[in-house]
Structure 1
Amino acid sequence: MEHAQTIPEAREGGGTDPETASALPRRRRGRTALLIAGAAVLGVLAGTVTGYAVQYDREPTPLPPLAQPLPAGPKALAPDDTTTNKTINANRWHKTDDDLGKLLVEAPGGAKVAGTGYEPADAFAAEFFTAPDRALTSLVQTRFRRVASTVWAQDDKVFVKVRLLQFQDRSGADDYQAQQSAYMSDKDRAGNDGVAVPGLSGDLGRVWVDSKAEETPGYLPVRGARVIARRGDIVMDIDYYDNRGKIAERDVIELAKRQLERL
């Protein structure tokens, strides 16, 4: 699945799915190991039979009383107006089960935030992918859960969209991250292998800055960058554009690190 984005342009003078390796079969146990294990089992059985024979003719021995009573646990409270799904499952609650929008990185000072919140799955597919219907079907099959995003602009020059996609389990997030990363090195995309996101291995998160800027007659060159990284069941997918054609890789990496820290 590929994504297609549209960003504001500035006029001149103007202000292949990866292969899944099959699991190796379990190693056959050696004959010596089987013989040793069999001898151990026979020894245990023989000892057990002898023990029962000795105990059979003896009078039963009463057990001593417990040294202390069992500890009294807290009584369950009846639900009231303050009871929520979170309070009931407090010991199993993770911050990613809360509002996903709260985990979005904050825009830098001075940036103009165009919007922050959840995106409906169909709207996300229609905006993000070249084949929305097929993309939506794929998202459903990979147990897609929800997506939250934030968009901002800096000095009418840099345009950023950060998305957090959450799946029902890690396998769905892994599929999305792997499939989207697979084509980023193509010439019509970034045209390079990118670099690993600090704090993650290269197969879990990478940053790509386009090798070439996109040039259209009458407009200044536009250069793009993308971050795709996974942590648990969440994938962060960041689009970063500069409509002056220059992007410092360290700026994109720093943004990726800030977002990763919030996950």
Structure 2
Amino acid sequence: MEVPEERSGARRRGRTTLLIAGAAVLGVVAGGCAGYLIQADREPTKLPSLSQPTLAQAREPAPEPLSAAQDRRVKTDGDLRKLLLKKPAGTKTAAWLSSVDGWLSLPAYADTYVKPGEAFGDAISGEFRRAASVGWTKGQADFEVRLTQFRQEETLAASDVTSGDQYWAADESATRSWTLPGTENGMVYVHDKPDTKPGYLPQYYAEAHAWRGDIVVDVWVYDTKPVPKKTIMDLAERQMERL
């Protein structure tokens, strides 16, 4: 994963804060010296009595903790699989899924990329935490929804990974794209040119990529006929609503 400019900017902000703090310390030292010289020329000032009236303490109730519905971290720190869309009734569980019992291991996650070795290293440096996916088949169409969560203690991997996915999706020829409603930067893509191989039916596909907090949302639809915008958009919107 190439380090984006935003990450470098976040690290530089820490250094700027450090320089400003150093300047403040120098200002305090200089001001203290000047104050000492002025005070040395003045007559002593009588100190007030140590006995002071008791001040009444404000008694306000402590704020109520956020409920599980309001605190997003309660939701996303739980079972990630429960946040996935449910397999629609009347569809078949996808036999091609790499996940086991809904969980996608780090090696399996990396293996979904063109260069698994590089993807594995990128996931480690990006503080990969866990991933879960669900998939189903309906007729000739295949569907997959994946959630990938990062620790984000040192890097903002969720936004970086999403930006990379969007870059490659937009780079495909004969591609139409739309913003994903309800998100700041989620995108939906429909590829109108199918993949073709001798002996195989043509394969059309559509995809959506977005992120929220520390979670990346990926949605794919594959079919032997063009994928309608409504199909991929509806799946992506419903998945984002669950986060």
Q: How does 1:67-86 map to 2 (within 5 A)?
A: 67=56
Indicate how the Cα distance of structure 1 residues 69 and 262 shifts in structure 2: closer, same or farther if over 3 A, else same.
closer
Q: How does 1:141-152 map to 2 (within 5 A)?
A: 141-152=125-136
**3-state DSSP of counterpart to 1:174:** helix
**In 1, distance between residues paired with 2:124 and 2:61?**
47
> Greater shift after overlay, 141-150 or 100-109?
100-109
Checking the alignment, whether the CA contact within 8 Å between 2:203 and 2:222 is kept in structure 1 is yes
Checking the alignment, whether the CA contact within 8 Å between 1:184 and 1:190 is kept in structure 2 is no
What is residue 233 of structure 1 aligned with on the other side? 214
**In 1, distance between residues paired with 2:104 and 2:180?**
26
What is residue 112 of structure 1 aligned with on the other side? 92
Q: In structure 1, list runs of 5 or more residues that go unmatched.
A: 2-16, 27-40, 74-90
1:97 aligns with 2:86: no
Checking the alignment, whether the CA contact within 8 Å between 1:184 and 1:191 is kept in structure 2 is no
Letter in structure 1 aligned against 2:163: A
Letter in structure 2 aligned against 1:225: A
1:259 aligns with 2:227: no
**In 2, distance between residues paired with 1:144 and 1:183?**
21
1:125 aligns with 2:110: yes
User: Number of residues paired by the alignment?
Assistant: 208
Larger RCO, structures 1/2 (Cα 8 Å, 6+ apart):
1
What is residue 51 of structure 2 aligned with on the other side? 62
Checking the alignment, whether the CA contact within 8 Å between 1:184 and 1:193 is kept in structure 2 is no
Q: TM-score, normalised by structure 2?
A: 0.71
What is residue 27 of structure 2 aligned with on the other side? none
Checking the alignment, whether the CA contact within 8 Å between 1:119 and 1:147 is kept in structure 2 is yes
Indicate how the Cα distance of structure 1 residues 18 and 196 shifts in structure 2: closer, same or farther if over 3 A, else same.
farther
**In 2, distance between residues paired with 1:258 and 1:196?**
15
Checking the alignment, whether the CA contact within 8 Å between 1:207 and 1:226 is kept in structure 2 is yes
Q: CA deviation at 1:19?
A: 5.7
Letter in structure 2 aligned against 1:178: S
Q: CA RMSD in A?
A: 3.7
Q: How does 1:1-263 map to 2 (within 5 A)?
A: 20=5, 56-67=45-56, 93-114=73-94, 117-126=102-111, 128-154=112-138, 156-169=139-152, 171-186=156-171, 189=172, 191-192=174-175, 194-201=177-184, 204-243=185-224, 245-263=225-243
What is residue 82 of structure 1 aligned with on the other side? none
Q: CA deviation at 1:111?
A: 2.1
Letter in structure 2 aligned against 1:196: T
Q: CA deviation at 1:209?
A: 0.9
**3-state DSSP of counterpart to 1:163:** strand
Letter in structure 2 aligned against 1:230: W
